[in-house]
Homo-oligomer: A and B are copies of this chain.
Amino acid sequence: MRIVILGSGNVATQLALSLKAIGEEIVQVYSPNLTNANNLAEKVAASAISNLAAINTKAELYIISVKDDAISAVAAELNHVNGLVVHTSGTTDLSILSDQVKRAGVFYPLQTFSKSRNVSFRHIPICLEAEEQDLILLRELAGKLSSKVYELDGEKRKVLHLAAVFACNFPNHLYALANQILQQHNLDFDIVRPLIAETADKVMVNLPDNVQTGPAIRGDERTMDKHLKMLSNLPELQEIYQTLSNSIKITHK
């Protein structure tokens, strides 16, 4: 399939690399910054452009993977192409594309991406949305990349994106706070890494409610009081400790 990638960030990069790896043809990479476009284009043997007037109009699929608030402006320049135009955003309606382009869809990979960390799409859920005739193409492509393909409307996709903040962004920040506590006492983050790994591993086969541990679920007020006192010089962490402990107590009461 001939594909144009619009964007050069984390998602665009990982998606382009994976599509190339399964044998798709990336014909062009667009970024308003030509250096960024070139960097990614080189990795996937594509040409690079920084001006949408030079867009290749013969591709079958255009993947817009830019910041949410830039999607609309990019789509406005694709109103003349006959290929399918998709975005990769969890929070953006399909209509932002379908109002502007001939054929519109969503191709949302649910994962936390970094440019420098290559990931396999094999187990990454890919969430699709499009008119039925265009879903065929997206299903085929998504199915080649991943074993987990979902068809979700915009509302459910937004719910999923919100859940992902709780499942990914917030836990990562809590890891960072753990590290802050450790560093204050010259302890290395490495000491909690096995614990983090096991905590995530446990919920691969269990539901998290069934494997909750710690002072809050035990109702161990003495330990919680001690912890709050230890955090007295970090009022922000104290508030988080209190809020999350209360929530655990409410959930499991």
Contact = CB atoms under 8 A, between A and B. Distances in A.
Interface stretch (A30-38, A57-65, A135-143, A218-226): A218-226
Given A164-B178, A192-B164, A230-B159, A208 B173 contact: yes
Nearest to A189: B207
A231 B173 CA distance: 20
Given A91-B223, A187-B163, A168 B208 contact: no
A187 B165 CA distance: 15
A220 B162 CA distance: 13
Contact of A208 (B175, B217, B220): B175
A244 interface: yes
Contacts of A192: 110, 160, 163-164, 167-168
A117 B217 CA distance: 19
Interface in A120-150: 123-125, 148, 150
A95 interface: no
Contacts of A247: 173, 177, 236-237, 240
Q: Is the interface of A mostly helix, strand, loop or mixed?
A: helix
Contacts of A196: 167-168, 171, 200, 203-204
Interface string A188-206: 0101111111111111100
13 contacts: A111-B194, A112-B202, A114-B202, A125-B195, A160-B192, A162-B227, A162-B231, A165-B241, A171-B200, A172-B203, A172-B208, A179-B208, A189-B203
Which 7 A/B pairs are nearest by Cβ-Cβ distance?
Answer: A169-B214, A200-B200, A171-B171, A175-B208, A166-B178, A167-B178, A176-B208
